[in-house]
Structure 1
Amino acid sequence: MAWTHNLGEEFETRTVMHAALVLAPLVAVATASGQPIWLEAAIVSGSAFIVMEKTNLAPLGVALHGVAIAVGFLVLLAAISTPPAFVGATAAMAGASILVTAKGDKLRSLGNFTFIPALYLACKAAEGTPRAALLERGLSFLPYIAAALLPVIALAAAEHVRDRDLGVSHIRHLTRFRRRVVDHGVAASFAEAMVAVTFAVACASIFVEWRHVEHGQWVIWSAASVVTGDAASARRKLGDRLLGAFVGVPIGVSLGFLMPHNGIVIELATVGTVLSLVAFRRYPLAFGLRCALVALAIIDADQSIAFAVERVENVVLGGVIGLAFVFGIHGLTLVGQLRASRGQPPE
């Protein structure tokens, strides 16, 4: 049928197979040990894999990216018990995720997939952890981050060895940060987007802290996610996220009630959520699948359907906050340009 053919064209078969390969060790250890904490670290593997693929990182580059994730995680976790510090830290990291595009717009993935895992893991680690134990909790998770990076480093090493030029020594080759020279895209005009995402994330973080929102990372990241290169694409991104949430969550909830309640289903849903980051070329399909799998995991864990509905609410709220600042900053920029042009003498 035509729709199955079109869906097949959207599916990133090779990328998904490689992503599954780097996630397999974590799934195996989690299954053998019965410790779900290994699956929490899967977001590190997925994020490192995406950045490796998009920017052609060599093993050393993957390791340094992992260090950046770990540092961001510890900074956010240390700040999370002090609302003003948490707001400042999240806003600064969100702004930095845009700043890297000054070297090329394709580097947005590097910024995004440093901020996402750091934010997710910090909020996850803080759940149910006393304030005095936050640092200990963070430090105890660092070995899991390191373990999650190892399969990605191994994959990068295999591809890096294959790419070695005959005239370059092995030692010099292994000290490179990237596998080969790549095009990072056009150096983006980042100032407007960086200001918008900084204020949007700060506003979302303030709301999360003020209202004590459960799973507040969904609001914060949704606010950051819709901030793209221009107002039109930001509006389109919000529409894609709303469509994915409103379609995906009900499907996930329905599957959650139909499927058996056991750890295997939750493990598969968790791994599938990470794979959805690379599974499809079109964002609405990927985000819809991600929402469905998150909702499936929530329902299968015997949590209330309200938690699944909360996912939609947080996506909507964060997206609206982000879009408001995109239009607001863009409007102020246009007003400034108009005033500047009126102040110029006629030619």
Structure 2
Amino acid sequence: MKTPLTVLVCALTLTACADHAARARLGIQDSTLLRSGVGASQDEAAGAANPQWVQTYAIVHNGASALASLQARLDRMPPQPNGYFRAKAQCWINAAQQTRQAGDRWGFAEEAIGEAAVITMGLESGKPVSAANPALRTVSTVRPDLWQIVNTIKSDPAVASCHEAQPPLACAEVELMQGGHDAWMRSFSNAEKRLPDIQDNLRKTAERVLQCKREVATSAAAPSAKSPRTVTLRADALFRFNGSNDVAMLPAGRRALDAVARGLKSDAAPGGLTITGYSDRLGDTARNQSLSLQRAETVARYLRARGVTSPIATRGLASANQLVECRQTRRDDLVRCLAPNRRVEIELAVAAP
């Protein structure tokens, strides 16, 4: 009896034919992930460590000590108003620990420790931390459809104020990265084993975001002891383009804030003020986050200097809650179109009559 040719081909390769089906289920586009043995690439493009990688992660010479230190620093932090980053740091620590316990010495543990360290240091210093997921040497992209779901959820403005939805979202991202490392290691079955937890975390996130939206809608419809009033000021009228500090404030911006200050002093807001800065979507995410927060803080200082005594909270939401969508191809036209998104909002919570 003749052996089918496909069986012979599978028997003669180091990668089983079943792996092709697993790769297809994972949505992996990189065909090199099924190459092994004779002819398999061992160069930098195939994932070999380059000098830059070695220089970046050589400091993680004692993974156990680094993980213990990061865990202790994270545990000492007070509760964060935004649970996304704290949860993400914890999930990166967990991923590094699991990788080390599995005896995997291919570099993902060091990369996970590095990601946990960047987030932890950002939380400690109060500096903006990017929510973007980096391209790591030992991680391939798996399940692009799940990544699309992740990005859709992250782009929903409701997520920023729905704190209970943030931890499962953060961990789903790290788990997808960890599954991508399994695929990079040609362990497609292990990558698939992670999918139920990832999908469950994304389901929890979506359900909690919807619940938060329902609560907001219910709250808006119900009578409230406080009714917010919002003053919106265009950033282009307050500051020079891309400016955010006192030096960058325009004369027209000072006059507008003087008028706001006079109104606040004559009609105090016992519930306090929330000043929120926004940027447009152009440029680096971390830079936009910092820029939007600086604008809010500059406005708060200006109002304080003009005699406003109500409690003031400031925040920067970067390009969240965009007012206009623009599709211009010329940059000058696009910048002009996006102007309404660059703004500062002053929300007053005042007692209802």
State the TM-score bracket (shorter-chain normalisation).
under 0.3
Bigger share in helix: 1
Query: Bigger radius of gyration, 1 or 2?
Result: 2
Bigger share in strand: 2
Give the TM-score, by structure 2 length.
Answer: 0.26
